Structure 1
Amino acid sequence: MAVATITSKGQITIPKEIRQELLLHSGDRIDFKLTEQGKVLLRPVTRRVDELFGRLHKHGQQALSPEDMDAAIRHRVTQSDA
């Protein structure tokens, strides 16, 4: 169980394992929702694609065209259907 302490200013630090699992980074926005059962759901606010530009780049890796990406997705889908 991950536990956090509330500061006098009402702030918390999200435990490292939760940040890693949700792929959260400094400056990311979080949505809190209170359920009817009195539980709180915490989830990252969805980002626009252009905000993610360059995050998946690996040094020395060739960039793929949109057509190449579509072909790879089609190939993967047909593989998983088999």
Structure 2
Amino acid sequence: MKRISSVTQKGQVTIPQVVREKLGIKYGDKVAFSFNEEGQVIIDRVSTDLDELYGILSDKKSSTPLEEERKLSREWIGEQKGRE
């Protein structure tokens, strides 16, 4: 069954819910548009490296005091600038 959406003045189209669910598209996701040999439009969800990293960090706070972390960050930035 075909799903129909209208194009806004800005060229935006709402992807129907059934299509979003089928492709696993959620709010904030990126989509890619391409064409197959017959000229039909192909829509794919674009996964980013961040998608694979989501949730791997623990909720534990660092044991390093904030001022020490800031000092280490400034030192690291200074080292990176020295490599330029």
Q: TM-score with structure 2 length normalisation? A: 0.56
Q: Secondary structure at the match of 2:18?
A: helix
Deviation at 1:36, TM superposition (A): 3.0
Can you give the 5+ residue segments of structure 2 that lack an aligned partner in the other structure?
A: 57-84
Q: Which has the larger radius of gyration?
A: 2
- 1:6 maps to 7
- 2:38 maps to 37
| Alignment coverage as a number of residue pairs | 53
Can you give the 5+ residue segments of structure 1 that lack an aligned partner in the other structure?
A: 55-82
| Superposed CA RMSD | 1.6
In percent, how many aligned pairs have the same letter?
30
CA–CA distance in 2 between the matches of 1:16 and 1:10? 19
Q: Secondary structure at the match of 2:43?
A: strand
Q: TM-score with structure 1 length normalisation? A: 0.57
Letter in 1 for 2:14: T
Q: Report the structure, 1 or 2, having the larger helix content.
A: 2
1:8-65, CA deviations, whole angstroms, 9 ceiling, x for partnerless residues? 11000000111111121111000000223211000000232113x27xxxxxxxxxxx
Where in structure 1 do 4 or more consecutive aligned residues deviate above 4 Å?
Answer: none
